[in-house]
A and B are shown apart, each in its own frame.
Chain A
Amino acid sequence: MSDLHSLSLHQASSLLAGRQCSSEELVQALLKRIAAVDASVQAYVSLDAESALAQAREADRRRASGGSVDPLLGLPIAVKDVLNVDGQPCTCASRILEGYISPYDATCVARLRSRGAILLGRVNMDEFAMGSSTENSAFKVTRNPWKLDHVPGGSSGGSAAAVAADEALAALGTDTGGSIRQPAAFCGCVGLKPTYGRISRYGLTAFASSLDQVGPLTKTVQDASLLLRAMSGHDPMDSSSVDVPVPDYSLALRPDLKGMKLGLPKEYFVEGMDPQVESAVRAAVEQCRALGAEIVEVSLPHTRYAIAAYYVIATAEASANLARFDGVRYGKRVEGEDPIDMYGKTRAAGFGREVKRRIILGTYVLSSGYYDAYYLRAQKVRTLIRNDFLKAFETCDALLTPVAPTAAYRIGEKKDDPLQMYLGDIFTVTANLAGICGLSAPCGFTGGGLPIGLQILGPGFKEENILRVGHAYEQATEWRLKKPELKG
């Protein structure tokens, strides 16, 4: 079988179950695909083929020994370089963590491992997940598989590009302000940001602790629900993970949307957005109506303060979270005259520009005399935004919006204009501030052939709502069948 690499998780799982292929063959097919196309896509930052093959052979042995088998057994998953995997590097795409080998598994990784999933390799990202284009990686620029001179989005750009380029069946990403949903939209795959507290953050190298969340990037909504269920649930190692039951999300997946009420927040259809994006999203809304959903307009009046509040809170938390990278215990070290001098030199050499910019911004907003005006005020805005959503979800099961105001842009186009880059997060940061869940699903292409994403937002711990909408819409359209043309 020559195209094992292009399967979805579910397709691969049934081939494995029917003994039509082995896990080892699956991993070999992916390694071959990576060898063929990753020189152009540049999705992976590290790949331990031997370890992946050993895990695959172990999975094949488990399957051969009989007994009940987990649907994830033997399925390879790519991991964003921000999640700790025991014995593997975890650079967060930063020079400062060069040489660091993780001594432990993140909880989400451990849960996948215990079900027999294979940890395939580590994929690129913006340094410490700070960015929306993956151009902030210290190691390489990942390309959009649909147009190699365009960005894949970010910060989980490596995850999205690997899935879109069939270099992975699925990948893990993290989403602090849109870092799963936006690259999924830019690369034409499915990206799910679960509710804050749904999946343990233990082992996720923190950017902004009150906003970060782990989630899957996949080829189908069904695959996303499979990985969500496998990783979800309370973890005693993460006090912010919430102890609410994890439903079998596959039961929510149906072909229609009858009885569902979907809201269109008017603040998410604004001037300045790419008309092609707007018309694709509006067409998707009509498709949902045709599937039986009732569509209503809603208002989220505090949306316009979201970007400012987000960049205050996220950078404040980041300034503390990144303080531990000092060259004392692990990672890069540049010697100095005394400890403080060593910190300065290590951090100057180890962090990239965007990371430094955010640490400085975060330090500033927390400093004495400014705390009330920035941090405290941003927290108040956050409460208002959360209340906006609570009100909207009193009447709606989910909300439909664009993921980003534009499709993917050219590499280098916004790199020197951070503010322009920040404004691109306008439709995604609100879900992180409110702690709710969001899904990005392909809903069309621009005239230039770049994917466009539909965002489906749902109430906290109601992932089944957005998965149901995403699945019904996905099955009623054929966007998922289109693949980028890559030589290899």
Chain B
Amino acid sequence: MSPSNYRATVGLEVHVQLKTRTKMFCGCPTEFGELPNTNVCPVCLGYPGAMPVMNAEAIRLCVRTGLMIGCRINPYSKFDRKNYFYPDMPKNFQISQYDQPLCLGGEVEIEVDGRKKIIHVTRIHQEEDVGKNMHFESSSGIDFNRAGTPLMELVTEPEIESADEAFAFLLALKQILVYGNISDCNLEEGNLRCDVNCSVRPEGQKELGVKTELKNMNTFKGVHRALSYEIKRQIDVVSKGGTIRQETRRWDDAAGVTLAMRSKEYAHDYRYFPEPDLMPVVLPTAQIEEWRQQLPELPAARRARLIRDLGLPEYDAEVLVADKAVADYFEETARLCGNAKAASNWIMTEMLRALTEKGLAIGAVKIQPVALAGLIKLVEAKTINMPSAKEVFNILFEQGGDPESIVKAKGMVQVSDSGALETFADQAIAANEKVVADYKAGKKVALQFLVGQVMKLSKGKANPQVVMQILEKKLQ
């Protein structure tokens, strides 16, 4: 059978670090980047006698995620102990949820090559993160700062069929999580990690093939590359009559291959049983409804609103909404200047270009929405021309401040006064007899040259439209 006659089936388990101030079961801060083993206490270090206390905010965020993607919220859920020995796990069991997770069902819409598809979510449950092993030259250490950080696990149905779809799912999920203020989704800090289950089977075969698992992937690009490789590898094996072993594999990013892990590293009987130190989570309907009322606008709804209420083209809405912070910035600017289209143009061209160049996020820029709105108003009022406006934008982007003082300081106020401009026009005509002759002979573009000369004489401050009108009149 040829490789194109195989179908891949992929399921994802995504671990998301929630944006809470404190850890899942103790009062330690969740801050990233502190000195090793400074954000720790008897509870998150697993000291004798220490007991967990539930972080209510983490429960709210997990349920909020469920509500955003249409899950059924379990009115009664409980925590369980997942038992296995590993040095980064202080208690040698992880407090997780086994058979009664907080959220069941749900769906996320993705789009690949213009084709929309629903990926169903099986469940979302809440658990705690582990510490970090650190290896030095001749010894190893463990940093427990991350141990006990709230971790939400979302499991999809095996409905993803390609690396592109997996990538699109992760992007869509990230967008939702950022919109809901659930997680910072900072990949460098490991806020979002995922395990990938993958199998292949011949076209037409009903039952799924034997699956392998890729553990602990922490970049979307890595997932895409690893999955592309793994699907191809499995098809190669199966199409040559070989069999796939059910195993856990590791993605070697440098070599660009997946490798089988020693069987010892994943053979676990987790011996789940209910966590006796925590009471079950009982969520009354009124509580769930209150949280439902507080749901934020999701990307799809926001896109539709920007098109409908602000008259943005579909493309603009798509680009702006992709990043919540960009969309927030846009809406604020549009509100302040009253010109949505102009705000959109500035952000989609100048702003996104500058951000990419500097490798910055919009939250980190010095130019505030009120400044950009002011700049748009100056252009609208014809106080400055476009080339000057772009120069002002660059200054605002680099240094911040307010556009009017920059315009004043740089003497950029546009000259539309026809008296002054007519003098410049006369000078330009007198100095460029050949160009004038060309124009009169029917070479219309020659006029642009003359406009440019006038602009030069005005030191860039002339209003180009007015200059054009004056020149046309004089050369009739």
- Interface residues in chain A, defined as those with a beta carbon under 8 Å from any beta carbon in chain B: 83-84, 90, 92, 97, 100, 102-104, 106, 201-206, 208-210, 236-240, 316-317, 319-320, 323-324, 326, 328-330, 339-340, 343, 363, 366-368, 371, 375
| Residue numbers in A under 8 Å from B47 (CB-CB) | 102-104, 329-330
> Across the interface, do A238 and B276 meet the contact criterion of CB distance under 8 Å?
no
**Residue contacts A-B, CB under 8 angstroms, 30 given:** A83-B49, A84-B49, A90-B48, A102-B49, A103-B42, A104-B42, A104-B47, A201-B51, A202-B51, A206-B48, A208-B276, A237-B51, A239-B51, A239-B52, A239-B54, A239-B277, A240-B279, A316-B273, A323-B83, A323-B91, A323-B92, A323-B93, A324-B91, A326-B85, A326-B87, A326-B92, A329-B45, A340-B85, A367-B271, A368-B271
In angstroms, how far is the closest chain B Cβ from the Cβ of A440? 25
Residues of B253-287 whose CB lies within 8 A of A: 269, 271-273, 276-279
Q: A202-B50, A366-B271 are in contact. List 11 more A-B contacts (CB 8 A).
A: A84-B49, A100-B48, A204-B49, A238-B277, A239-B51, A240-B276, A317-B276, A324-B48, A329-B47, A329-B90, A343-B85
Q: Does B193 contact A (CB under 8 A)?
A: no
> Across the interface, do B85 and A323 meet the contact criterion of CB distance under 8 Å?
yes
A320/B81 contact (C-beta < 8 A), A237-B51, A368-B269 known: yes
Across the interface, name the chain A residue whose C-beta is closest to B26.
Answer: A237
Across the interface, name the chain B residue whose C-beta is closest to A322.
Answer: B92
| Residue numbers in A under 8 Å from B272 (CB-CB) | 366
Q: Does B105 contact A (CB under 8 A)?
A: no
> Across the interface, do B92 and A324 meet the contact criterion of CB distance under 8 Å?
yes
CA distance A368 to B271 in the complex (A): 7
CA distance A375 to B276 in the complex (A): 13
| Residue numbers in A under 8 Å from B86 (CB-CB) | 339
> Across the interface, do B273 and A375 meet the contact criterion of CB distance under 8 Å?
yes
In angstroms, how far is the closest chain B Cβ from the Cβ of A339? 5
CA distance A203 to B43 in the complex (A): 10
A320/B83 contact (C-beta < 8 A), A209-B276, A240-B277 known: yes
| Residue numbers in A under 8 Å from B93 (CB-CB) | 320, 323
Residues of B123-145 whose CB lies within 8 A of A: 142
Residue in B46, B48, B272, B273 whose Cβ sees the most chain A Cβ within 10 Å: B48
> Across the interface, do A324 and B90 meet the contact criterion of CB distance under 8 Å?
yes
Q: Does B53 contact A (CB under 8 A)?
A: yes
Across the interface, name the chain A residue whose C-beta is closest to B271.
Answer: A366
| Residue numbers in B under 8 Å from A208 (CB-CB) | 276
Residues of B84-102 whose CB lies within 8 A of A: 85-87, 90-93
> Across the interface, do B53 and A363 meet the contact criterion of CB distance under 8 Å?
no
| Residue numbers in A under 8 Å from B91 (CB-CB) | 320, 323-324
> Across the interface, do A339 and B87 meet the contact criterion of CB distance under 8 Å?
yes
CA distance A39 to B124 in the complex (A): 59
CA distance A343 to B42 in the complex (A): 20
In angstroms, how far is the closest chain B Cβ from the Cβ of A312? 11
Across the interface, name the chain B residue whose C-beta is closest to A343.
Answer: B85
Q: Could you count the A-B residue pairs with CB atoms below 8 Å apart for me: how many are there?
A: 98
Across the interface, name the chain B residue whose C-beta is closest to A91.
Answer: B48
| Residue numbers in B under 8 Å from A201 (CB-CB) | 49, 51
A238, A324, A328, A366: the one within 8 Å of B51 (CB): A238
| Residue numbers in A under 8 Å from B277 (CB-CB) | 206, 209, 238-240
In angstroms, how far is the closest chain A Cβ from the Cβ of B114? 46
Hey, what's the 0/1 contact readout for B63-84 against A, CB within 8 Å counting as 1? 0000000000000000001010
CA distance A147 to B371 in the complex (A): 90
| Residue numbers in B under 8 Å from A209 (CB-CB) | 276-277
Across the interface, name the chain B residue whose C-beta is closest to A206.
Answer: B49
CA distance A90 to B85 in the complex (A): 23
| Residue numbers in A under 8 Å from B142 (CB-CB) | 328
| Residue numbers in B under 8 Å from A339 (CB-CB) | 85-87
CA distance A92 to B47 in the complex (A): 13
A363/B271 contact (C-beta < 8 A), A100-B48, A324-B48, A326-B92 known: yes
CA distance A202 to B87 in the complex (A): 24
CA distance A330 to B48 in the complex (A): 10
> Across the interface, do A239 and B53 meet the contact criterion of CB distance under 8 Å?
yes
| Residue numbers in B under 8 Å from A102 (CB-CB) | 47-49
In angstroms, how far is the closest chain A Cβ from the Cβ of B82? 10
In angstroms, how far is the closest chain A Cβ from the Cβ of B41? 9
CA distance A22 to B277 in the complex (A): 41
| Residue numbers in B under 8 Å from A205 (CB-CB) | 48-49
Hey, what's the 0/1 contact readout for B324-360 against A, CB within 8 Å counting as 1? 0000000000000000000000000000000000000
| Residue numbers in B under 8 Å from A240 (CB-CB) | 276-277, 279
> Across the interface, do A92 and B48 meet the contact criterion of CB distance under 8 Å?
yes
| Residue numbers in A under 8 Å from B85 (CB-CB) | 323, 326, 339-340, 343
| Residue numbers in B under 8 Å from A203 (CB-CB) | 49-50
> Across the interface, do A366 and B273 meet the contact criterion of CB distance under 8 Å?
yes
CA distance A106 to B271 in the complex (A): 29
Residues of B218-250 whose CB lies within 8 A of A: none
Hey, what's the 0/1 contact readout for B440-460 against A, CB within 8 Å counting as 1? 000000000000000000000
CA distance A100 to B142 in the complex (A): 19
In angstroms, how far is the closest chain A Cβ from the Cβ of B270? 8
Residue in B49, B53, B85, B276 whose Cβ sees the most chain A Cβ within 10 Å: B49
> Across the interface, do B49 and A320 meet the contact criterion of CB distance under 8 Å?
no
| Residue numbers in A under 8 Å from B51 (CB-CB) | 201-202, 237-239
CA distance A102 to B48 in the complex (A): 8
CA distance A339 to B142 in the complex (A): 12
In angstroms, how far is the closest chain B Cβ from the Cβ of A377? 13
CA distance A100 to B53 in the complex (A): 24
> Across the interface, do A324 and B276 meet the contact criterion of CB distance under 8 Å?
no
In angstroms, how far is the closest chain A Cβ from the Cβ of B80? 10
The 4 closest A-B pairs by CB, nearest first: A323-B92, A209-B276, A366-B271, A210-B276
A84, A204, A236, A328: the one within 8 Å of B53 (CB): A236
A106, A317, A367: the one within 8 Å of B49 (CB): A106
| Residue numbers in B under 8 Å from A206 (CB-CB) | 48-49, 277
| Residue numbers in A under 8 Å from B92 (CB-CB) | 323-324, 326
> Across the interface, do B48 and A320 meet the contact criterion of CB distance under 8 Å?
no
In angstroms, how far is the closest chain A Cβ from the Cβ of B2? 40
> Across the interface, do A328 and B87 meet the contact criterion of CB distance under 8 Å?
yes
| Residue numbers in A under 8 Å from B278 (CB-CB) | 239
CA distance A365 to B49 in the complex (A): 24
CA distance A203 to B51 in the complex (A): 8
In angstroms, how far is the closest chain A Cβ from the Cβ of B202? 32
> Across the interface, do A237 and B276 meet the contact criterion of CB distance under 8 Å?
no
A239/B279 contact (C-beta < 8 A), A203-B49, A343-B85 known: yes
| Residue numbers in A under 8 Å from B53 (CB-CB) | 236-239
In angstroms, how far is the closest chain B Cβ from the Cβ of A235? 9
Across the interface, name the chain A residue whose C-beta is closest to B43.
Answer: A237
In angstroms, how far is the closest chain A Cβ from the Cβ of B267? 12
CA distance A366 to B269 in the complex (A): 9
Across the interface, name the chain B residue whose C-beta is closest to A342.
Answer: B87
| Residue numbers in B under 8 Å from A371 (CB-CB) | 271, 273
Across the interface, name the chain B residue whose C-beta is closest to A208.
Answer: B276
